[in-house]
Amino acid sequence: MGPYLWRIPQDASRGMRVPGLVVADEHLIASMGSDASLEQVANGATLPGIVKAAMAMPDLHQGYGLPVGGVVATDAHRGVVSPGAIGFDINCGVRLLSASLAAAEVADRMEALVDALYATIPTGVGSRGAVSLEPKALDDVLERGAAWAVAAGYGVDQDLQRIESDGCLPGAMPSTVSARARERGRRQLGTLGSGNHFLEVQVVDVVYDEPAARALGLYLGQLTVMIHTGSRGLGHQVCTDYLDVAGKALRRYGISVPDRQLACVPAESDEGRAYFGAMRAAANFAFANRQVLTQWARQVFERCLGVGARDLDLSVVYDVAHNIAKEEDHDVDGARRRLIVHRKGATRSFPGQPVLVPGDMGRYSYLLLGTEVAMRETFGSTCHGAGRLLSRTAAVKAARGRRIGEELRARGVLARATGRDALAEEMPEAYKDVQDVVDVVHRFGISTRVARFRPLAVIKG
């Protein structure tokens, strides 16, 4: 349909209610043919109540049910909600912090800094943190999100003003979160987890939009920190629980989907309301998790660098959510409609809102701004990262015989990881070049570049 937009025609024979739309250039669209991601976009177009199109961002790759990078919007009253179209790691999001220091000022202490971060912040599969939540406290976290963490001493009120949705989704229902999910989350607040989750120390190495960067408190050469994690085992279990609920309810509601991974229920059904309440609760847990990690990172920086909180001023620039569904009002065919926008590995890109796009740990990450074009074209959505090229198994195989940690050090990046294959699974070659992804969304106009960050040190699970 143009240099940055591709169309999957609506095929009624396979149950598609709308076409598919993919934001990509020729180079990126070619890389999408190696997995089932485009077929998953077409499957997403079969969801009851879907409007306009099933959409995909340029970091698209195969996921569970809907591809990572997928966006589908369903009518909030006559449509459905699908746990698989949101994802297991509910509100897996990214937070950017900026310091009142130049990266060059701490270069000689970077090794000690990354070691201290790695020693302080729990990483890895099933990791447990220092925060143990009793049932009432866990309910408070699930209802209040980041505000609970600030009230408990993990940060300041100003942090909340720089988080998507102020760090709390209203309408959370802790009572709809299962005992198993609660038990999995009880000791995981303040943990990074595994996979592509990370805490990264960075430097601002390119500024594209000086006024916008200045307004966000960023400047060339500045020390920054990026945190990428979500709702941990609690969110995973919420998705698991409600996929089972939705799968059993399909026949009762007369719903047919081409892939049971896209099992769904009417948004206004009892099951739909229960899932929404649990999903919002898990999202709030993730906001609180990133808030606790923020405060612990501040304490490590202050201790290792020998500076006070005021001089360090490690401030939240912004915090964005992925793997989430939100009720929003959008224009569809000239009419304003209430929609449930499922963003599976995609970022909200409302006009003027900061958008954080992490890359791989060997290259760079980006800060963008949302636009009016995104509101017209993609339900206010954009990319969320680089997108995988290799599965974790394929990446480990490709890294055999190599020392990924030493290769990263040669690039100027200090890395620490818990799992035996953690660095191999997440090596730079396992991902698309995030610059290619960002170029597409910038040129298409659904988000515009503000600054680029180069990694200096990273901890992973």
Q: Any idea what DSSP says for residue 71? A: E
CA distances from 347 to 203, 328, 342, 412, 458 (A): 23, 14, 10, 29, 23
Query: Choosing from 228, 236, 384, 442, which is the catalytic residue?
Result: 384
CA distances from 82 to 85, 181, 328, 370, 389 (A): 5, 19, 16, 26, 26
Map tokens 């992490």 to a residue: 358
261 Cβ neighbours under 8 A, 6+ residues apart = 64, 65, 84, 243
- How is residue 111 written in tokens? 């090794």
Nearest-angstrom CA–CA distance, 126 and 356: 26
- How is residue 458 written in tokens? 């990273």
350 Cβ neighbours under 8 A, 6+ residues apart = 370, 374, 375, 380
Alpha helices for 262-371 (secondary structure H): 270-305, 309-312
3-state secondary structure of 200: strand
Is the separation of the CB atoms in 359 and 365 below 8 Å?
yes
Name the maximum alpha-carbon separation found in the chain: 66
| 384 classed as catalytic | yes
Q: CB neighbours (10 Å) of residue 296? A: 18
- Going by C-alpha positions, the residue among 370, 326, 318 that lies closest to residue 161 is 318
Map tokens 């959409």 to a residue: 55
For residue 373, give the H/E element and its range.
Answer: helix 372-377
Is the separation of the CB atoms in 287 and 145 below 8 Å?
yes
Angle between helices 110-120 and 270-305 (to 10 degrees): 140
3-state secondary structure of 144: helix
Tell me the catalytic residues: 384
